[in-house]
Amino acid sequence: LKGTASGIYGLEMRTADLALMGRAMNPFEYYGTYERSWVFPVQVEVATGSFATPDKSPAYAVFVHRDNPIAKLTVQQLDAIFGAQRGGGWNGLSWDVTAARGPELNVRTWGQLGATGAWADKPIHVYAPPLEGAGAITYFQSRVMHGADLWNEDLREYADPARMIADLSNDPSGIAYASLDSAAAGVKALPLAETAAGPYVKLARETVADRSYPLSRPVYAVFNIDNEKSELAGVDPKLRELLRYVLSKQGQADVARAGGYLPLTAAAAAEQVKKLDSTSTPNELRVIRKASAIKVRMSIDEDPIVVRLAESLGYFEQEGIELQRVDVEKITGEDYLMQEPLAKGQIDAAYCWFNHAIYGARHGFPVQAVMLFNDAPGMKVLVADRAKGRVASAADFTGRNVAAGAGYGMKSVLTRYLASKAGAGAYASVMMGKAGREEAVVKGLKEGTVDVMTFQEPITSSLLATGLATTLYDLDSGESTARALGARFPAQALLMSPETIAKRPEVVQRLVNALVRAMRFVNSHSAEEIAARLPADYFAGKDRRAELELIRAALPTYTRGDYSISPEEAQLAVDVNLSAVFDESDEGRWRGSGDVSRVRAADLYTSRFVSRAMNAIAVVNAR
């Protein structure tokens, strides 16, 4: 799309692939585009605005009356003349309070600029093109006034630049900015400098072309990273080649031949080409995010790849989140007691099993799941081959020897739920320590002391590989879990307190946005591709090949397409846990105690943050 305003709208609505703009996007436009497309737009300088050609982003001249004794000005002085008191300004894409200034820095007389004699007390009459509406930032505002919209209180607006310069030619106390094609007899254009140290540069074709003149204007081509398939798809190949050509020696020669716009210097063009190969967070945003990132304290179960990917792919950074890992055991003395720290605001979030929300409700520490990561527990219920003729379903568990882990854990809870649902009677629990567990199970299979067993990877695959056991129930994917249990089972989730959700919804949304993007990456990439994007320290001290196989085995457990919890799934989790008979360990007693009447499935989750995140994705995919 041609034209700055229409181009920005086209990028935001995803009706345009490329926008040509006579100025840089302002922060409101930049973040607005990101909210719709989930990636930050890329701004590539493709030319320099014209020396003095109308409608070709001409450089701005600063005019005064020809009799005015002032011979030169700095950009800072222009700010003092045209601007006013303000509480801050934009430094790139970040609001910077160091750009604030009080009224004592306003320049309102020519004497404040060094004029003497009769000129010393003459007020400065400020002329300017029409000011834009709220939220709009012109090139002059951005370049001179740090993007602030507080102007000289006596500024006179002119829709017609010719009329403005004509009035200036009759007003010795006036000053205006406009393109050089508006020049007329009776006015002069002043040399400008960034600071009083100079150099002061006259407005000329060559000083505009090499950008040494301070009010030269870059011309931009702006586009969104193509994230139709994933956030890492990068620059659309057609756009990349088009812009490579525009930035090439031949392309810039074509810019010069077309007239109006001026070509970039070779060094400037080479620098812009680098942007065509980048899908990372823009450098200016890295500074912003680091300075203004919101700290989120999270308790994390083990070392989930979703969180690691959100970090390594820059999703937390792009959402302005700085994740701080918290060891909840140091707060409560136990790693399973995260509900009270969540409810009391000692931590902000917990990446853990959804069933902890149920236990929290029972004990008066309500927490909610704002997002679901796994809709399958990642387990298999196996039966010994020698017994599979007599154990065809969970109904046949009665009197059998069952190895399903500790009596407070979800392997044991789900195994007992399957048995209870099928009408089975009591069975004998076979307990095995963590050390040498696999070898002990294999020995039990051979000796006939284990009939049924429930395990997760990597033990499951190892047991099946022995040929001594067969899968009876597959709880490794949402689909197979639903066949076994009647619904998908909410496993790992993101838990937060209702108070935090109510008081800091924007933080919750940012956190969910980042993790949804990480989940989409998991859903659309192979184990090898995922491993390649995990940070090196993820594999520190581990067998990389074994870890890769664990990632591969876990992929089916991740929920796909929608990362919220359904009413049926929440109710299943409640039914499973409230019907459980836990062991007498400290954790078992905690899980099995408390007030059951406090537990309502509908109070244990909220889907609104995932829905907003998914709606944003739908806008992108509906191009």
Return the amino acid letter for 506: E
Are the CB atoms for 443 and 372 separated by under 8 Å? no
Report whether pLDDT(398) > 70.
yes
Q: From the CB of residue 126, how many other CB atoms can be counted at a distance below 10 Å?
A: 21
| 370 and 517 housed in the same domain | yes
Q: Which two tokens stand for residue 111?
A: 């004497």
| 461 and 592 housed in the same domain | no
Report whether pLDDT(134) > 50.
no
Q: Which residues, in sequence order, are CB contacts of 600 under 8 Å at separation 6+?
A: 361
Structural domain includes residue 300: yes
Give the whole-angstrom CA distance, residue 2 versus residue 321.
35
Structural domain includes residue 480: no
Return the higher-pLDDT residue of 460 and 87: 460
Q: Which two tokens stand for residue 335?
A: 């790693």
Report whether pLDDT(151) > 60.
yes
**Stretch 447-476: mean pLDDT:** 95
Q: Which residues of 357-387 are buried (b: 16+ CB within 10 A; e: fewer)?
A: bbbbbbbebbbbbbbbbbbbbbbbbbbbeeb
pLDDT per position as a tens digit, 221-248 = 988 775 544 344 456 788 889 999 999 9
Report whether pLDDT(312) > 60.
yes
List, as one string, the DSSP characters of 58-87: PPEEEEEETT-----EEHHHHHHHHB--BS
Give the three-class secondary structure for 546.
helix
Give the whole-angstrom CA distance, residue 293 versus residue 30.
18
Q: Which two tokens stand for residue 172?
A: 């010795």
Q: Which domain holds residue 537?
A: 293-376+490-621
Return the higher-pLDDT residue of 131 and 477: 477
Return the amino acid letter for 81: I
| 543 and 582 housed in the same domain | yes
Structural domain includes residue 284: no
Structural domain includes residue 267: yes
In this prediction, residue 436 has a pLDDT band, given cuts at 50, 70 and 90, of confident
Among 414, 445, 475, the domain boundary falls at 475
Q: Which two tokens stand for residue 503?
A: 């008081």
Residue 231 confidence (pLDDT) = 43
| 197 and 96 housed in the same domain | yes
Structural domain includes residue 363: yes
| 111 and 184 housed in the same domain | yes
Structural domain includes residue 55: no
Q: Which of 56, 70, 71 is nearest to 202 (CA)?
A: 71
Return the amino acid letter for 451: D
Task: Enter the pTM of the model.
Answer: 0.63
Q: Provide the domain count of the chain.
A: 4
H/E run at residue 48: strand 42-48
Q: Which residues, in sequence order, are CB contacts of 351 under 8 Å at separation 6+?
A: 298, 299, 300, 301, 304, 306, 307, 373, 492, 493, 494, 495
pLDDT per position as a tens digit, 262-297 = 999 999 999 999 888 755 555 555 555 555 678 999
Residue 2 confidence (pLDDT) = 61
Structural domain includes residue 54: no
**Stretch 484-493: mean pLDDT:** 97
Cα 340 to chain centroid, rounded: 29
Domain containing residue 551: CATH number: 3.40.190.10
| 385 and 368 housed in the same domain | no
Q: Please classify residue 354 by burial: count the beta carbons closer than 10 Å to its beta carbon, then call 0-12 exposed, 13-18 middle and 19+ buried.
A: buried
Please state whether beta strands 94-96 and 89-91 pair in parallel, antiparallel, or not at all (unpaired): antiparallel
Give the whole-angstrom CA distance, residue 252 versus residue 430.
77
Structural domain includes residue 286: no
| 496 and 554 housed in the same domain | yes
Are the CB atoms for 137 and 147 separated by under 8 Å? yes
| 198 and 78 housed in the same domain | yes
Report percent pLDDT > 70 for the chain.
92
Q: From the CB of residue 332, how many other CB atoms can be counted at a distance below 10 Å?
A: 16
Among 153, 180, 209, the domain boundary falls at 209
Separation in Å, CA 463 to CA 391, 420, 438, 460: 18, 25, 8, 5
Looking at the DSSP assignment, which residues form a beta bridge with residue 374? 558
Return the amino acid letter for 573: A
Report whether pLDDT(458) > 50.
yes
| 168 and 317 housed in the same domain | no
pLDDT per position as a tens digit, 350-368 = 999 999 999 999 999 999 9
Are the CB atoms for 388 and 394 separated by under 8 Å? no
| 610 and 590 housed in the same domain | yes
Among 418, 448, 475, the domain boundary falls at 475
| 497 and 364 housed in the same domain | yes
| 518 and 593 housed in the same domain | yes
**Stretch 3-11: mean pLDDT:** 76
